[in-house]
Chain A
Amino acid sequence: MALLEVKDLSFSYPGGEKKALDNLSFSVEEGELCLILSPNGGGKTTLLSLLQNRGDLPGKRSGHVSFPGGAPRTALLRQDADLALVTDKVWRELAFAPENRGLPTEEIRLRVAEAAGFLGLEPLFYRDVSSLSGSEKVKTLLAAFLADRPGLFLLDEPASTLDPLAKRDLAEALNRIRREGGGTVLLAEQTCDPFFAEADRVLYLENGALLFNGSPREAARFLLTTGRGSFVPESARLAFSLGEKETLPLTDSEGKRALSALPYTVAPLPRVKCAGEALLSLRDLSFRFEKNAPDLLSGLDLTLSRGEIVAVLGKGGSGKSTLLRLLSGELSPVRGKRRLAGGAKLAYLPQDVRCLFEKETLEEEMLSVSSPEKVREALSRFDLPPLAGRHPLDLSGGERQRAALAKLSLIRPDVLLLDEPTHGLDGGAKAALAALLTRWKQEGAGILLVTHDAAFAAVTADRCALLFNGEFAALEETDLFFRELHLFTTPTARVTDGKALAPEEVKAP
């Protein structure tokens, strides 16, 4: 039976020229995992807010959202899990909703125990929420939602800041919730891995319109044949590019099997080497947050040169962002030194890019930094002209990220520190960013980026480092780095057994 039916749903924000949602019709069955894909600003967040029956969403709405079996309790997990956490302790967070519903203490105790046990939250139970990593926060929230026993889980890009292993943990947790917990899950995502193959249904939105609604395999075929390949798993993209049109593989193991039967050659991506003098160097850099805690970063040595891109990878909570906060001057090291070449200009893109905005509109923001011609060029490069009049904080996550990058592009820094620059970006915006970083590099900038996006690092970086236990477990040339790794590598490398790093390297003979 359909849990949810949407009929002719349209929505426009006040003052918006185009519709945020345009005549959507679809239904979702009980217990389904429905993956909603769309480019930045495609309408994912608006759709989830309307499904949650947010009466306070300002704008013009038409059409119907109905629940044939009665409206279930819904839980909405927004992009920033940190903002959904209300209290200071994990156990208090789990008890929050049942307490607010006025349930008896014994029932709360049972629900909290059940939810924590179901998602394996026991080791975190007494922890401060501020000490949790990104994936632990998402897991805590899912458990907190479970304790409230919702029938419908709405998740708005919950994995955007998670590392690949944490994403797989989340996919597993969502599967358990719908298979064993009886919940229905609507998951809006920018990236498809690892949820694509797990989904029962895929919806694809573009400019607010529903362009596709069907099974993951049909979705992969539709997206690839219509030139939207960045939304499908790399195994499907690779097989499709090698001539497989019918049975597209969706997982790494399926991809491996498919590629073993397809002939292909590998042409490594050309890497432009233009490294010059040292711009930024760290010697024995160490840091810890508390006096008696172990070092989070311990004795790091690194030199970033002019005309070089270095990517730092590692699990969530390994200290990647902290490293950039140290290099930007936000935090001070407990030991060691950071040296910036004399006269070099440093710019820092934090994980929360809202810190960069000070003005009322995006255009004002840009004009406060540079001339109108340069502003126009920067806005066009990131496909931002339609959003120039909007308040920067009203933009969607991906749009905001593009706006921040556009603003940074105006000042031409010598050293650029980027914290998860692909966070929330769709395939097109990622490609534009990769091209821009390569251009800046050729113009003499030194770029240090920390990212979970191994595929992006493989394409853009000259050297890559793996941060583990406070140290660089490896710091190598990119090709060598990824060929040595088996688990923390790119999806293409996993499917091709390390022969290729990016789909662009794989060619039909």
Chain B
Amino acid sequence: MRRSALSRLHPASSYALGGSILLLAFLTKDPFSALLLAAGAIAFDGEVSGAPFAAKRLAFFAALTALGAVTNPLISHRGVTVLFYLGASPVTGEAAVYGAVSGAMLANVILWCEALFRVLPPDAALVFPGKVLPRTTLVFTMAIRFVPRLMTRMRQARAAQAAFHPEHTLKNAFLALQTGVALTLEECCEIAAGMEERGYGAAKPSRYALYRFRGRDGAAVFLTLLLTSLSLAAYCLGAYRFTCYPVLARSGHWAWYALPAFLAFLPAAAERKEKLQWRSSK
């Protein structure tokens, strides 16, 4: 996980912002929103991981968009602007734009998922269920350890038993599985005894909050919710409506694009602000 301004926020703030951007990336079907969101993601990648990395992400976005633009007209022949004929089938400009927008949408979702995955602490996702269902969250974190433990025990058992049962047969594999399961279950009993000794089940559990919810987290959540609500309202009112067929057409005022632009560039702007503050403090 890379340290960034976003990862330093409370998970409630960082996940709200990330979730809102992803929601918009899923919903908006117009090329302008797609370009704004992609630019935000690439700018954020550039701030966190450097310009060469951002250039690679830009190339990825361009490639996926181009792939959509090339493949869709081969399948769909809708649209009125015929660019040329491939055999007897017309290749239309509208179908190419539709494919490019679809490719850009898919690229956006991937870009943002990857960018967020790189900076957000994965265990922070457990903050929310941990508050409501502390025991279930504990079982989940224990299960995370159980599966690799069982796999390791099975591999160890097979390696240790190979001197006595060298053949690679199903029977010997089953023997290793049997030993692995028996050991893991026995270990689970010991773990359970240890948990009881450490107070598990003794009282109604409380919750340790690794992350503090500070004023700036509140401000970030407020801003995110405000921008997301306004963007969704604008979306429902048709501010970002864009149609490809039969001809390319858009409606709504250009000013509405300020909302997704603000949201998409917020992570990169926060990153830049931290960098400037760091430099001025030196």
Give A contacts to B, CB under 8 Å: 52, 74-76, 78, 80, 83-84, 86-89, 91-92, 95-105, 108-109, 112, 129-130, 144, 148, 325, 328-331, 345-350, 352-358, 368-369, 393, 408, 411, 413
Contacts and interface: CB of A to CB of B under 8 A. Distances in A.
Q: Which 6 A-B pairs have the closest CB atoms?
A: A95-B208, A347-B163, A100-B199, A330-B159, A102-B203, A355-B160
Interface stretch (B8-16, B139-147, B252-260): B139-147
Contacts of A76: 194, 197
A326 to B, nearest CB: 10
B247 interface: no
B214 to A, nearest CB: 14
Contact of A356 (B153, B161, B166, B206): B161
Contact of A101 (B134, B161, B202): B202
Interface in B155-208: 155-164, 166, 175, 178-179, 182-183, 186-187, 190-191, 194-195, 197-208
A350 B155 CA distance: 11
Interface in B199-245: 199-210
B148 interface: yes
A331 B155 CA distance: 9
Nearest to A125: B210
Nearest to A352: B156
B153 A108 contact: no
Given A102-B205, A348-B160, A97 B183 contact: no
Contacts of A325: 156, 159
Nearest to A82: B187
B11 to A, nearest CB: 14
Contact of B198 (A80, A97, A109): A97
A367 B208 CA distance: 53
B74 interface: no
B202 A87 contact: no
B206 A102 contact: yes
Contacts of A86: 138, 142, 191, 194-195, 198, 200
Given A97-B199, A101-B203, A148-B199, 10 more contacts: A84-B194, A92-B141, A99-B205, A100-B195, A109-B208, A325-B156, A328-B159, A346-B163, A348-B162, A354-B183
24 contacts: A74-B197, A78-B194, A84-B194, A86-B200, A87-B138, A92-B123, A97-B198, A97-B199, A98-B208, A104-B206, A105-B207, A109-B209, A130-B145, A325-B156, A325-B159, A328-B160, A330-B158, A345-B163, A346-B163, A348-B159, A354-B183, A355-B153, A368-B164, A393-B186
B14 to A, nearest CB: 16
A130 B148 contact: yes
B110 to A, nearest CB: 20
Contacts, number: 138
Interface string B112-129: 000000000001000000
Nearest to B199: A100
A408 to B, nearest CB: 7
B134 A83 contact: no
Contacts of B158: 330
Given A83-B187, A86-B142, A358 B199 contact: no
Nearest to B191: A83
A288 B257 CA distance: 48
B46 to A, nearest CB: 21
Contact of A358 (B156, B159, B179, B209): B179
A112 B207 CA distance: 12
Given A84-B194, A108-B208, A355 B183 contact: yes
B148 to A, nearest CB: 7
B145 to A, nearest CB: 6
A438 B31 CA distance: 77
Contacts of B209: 105, 109
Nearest to A126: B121
B199 A369 contact: no
Contacts of B160: 328, 348-350, 353, 355-356
A224 B138 CA distance: 50
Nearest to A104: B206
A358 B138 CA distance: 32
B194 to A, nearest CB: 5
Contact of A89 (B123, B134, B199): B123
Contact of A355 (B179, B194, B202): B179
Contact of B157 (A92, A104, A355): A355
B125 to A, nearest CB: 13
Contact of B156 (A91, A129, A355, A357): A355
B179 A100 contact: no
A103 to B, nearest CB: 6
B163 A411 contact: yes
B198 A100 contact: yes
Nearest to B154: A355
Residue of A75, A148, A328 with most partner-chain B CB within 10 A: A328
A353 B144 CA distance: 24
B202 A330 contact: no
B182 to A, nearest CB: 8
A329 B202 CA distance: 45
A409 B183 CA distance: 23
Contacts of A83: 187, 190-191, 194
A330 B161 CA distance: 11
Contacts of B206: 98-99, 101-105, 108
A89 to B, nearest CB: 6
B159 A350 contact: yes
Given A78-B194, A99-B206, A104-B206, A88 B199 contact: no
Contacts of A356: 160-161
Contacts of B162: 328-329, 346, 348
A331 B191 CA distance: 27
B200 A100 contact: yes
Contacts of A96: 195, 198, 200
A139 to B, nearest CB: 16
Contacts of A331: 155
A133 to B, nearest CB: 16
Contacts of B142: 86-88
A45 B148 CA distance: 29
